[in-house]
Amino acid sequence: MGEVFEFPVRVYYEDTDAGGIVYNANYLKFMERARTEFLRAKGVEQDVWLQEGYAFVVSRTEIDFRSAARFNELLTVLTQVIEVKRASLRFSQQILAADGRLITQAMVQIACVSHPQMKPVAIPEKIKGVLLSAR
């Protein structure tokens, strides 16, 4: 497989439910941050591409919850590009606890769309090259 990008996340009180366990939707937020930082580390700034008329949107997510993360835990989000197509790509993502315990894993499909029309378009070659080199 290709390059694995690591992104640390601390669980804040606001991320948890009344029992101190991370609320399920917040794992998706952690993964979104990691994908954004992965692209930033590769020189792809999404706000610049948005100004050029390109947006990246989640079109599909498959997620498995394996263990609970709790308030104040330090987590690591692992992000890996596993497929690049003409107008979409797929990421494999995992969230691990500091002790290596698997918290959750997901496959996230991203579509490239024109902005503001929100119609599928080809991923710009410059971005596609970056994604393919990370695979």
Out of 17, 47, 64, 99, which one is annotated catalytic?
Answer: 17
Show the tokens assigned to 122.
């080809």
Pairing status of strand 74-84 against strand 54-65: unpaired
Whether 15 sits among the annotated catalytic residues: the reply is no
3-class DSSP state of 46: helix
Contacts of residue 18, defined as CB under 8 A and 6 or more positions apart, other chains included, come to none
70 forms beta bridges with 21
Active site residues: 17
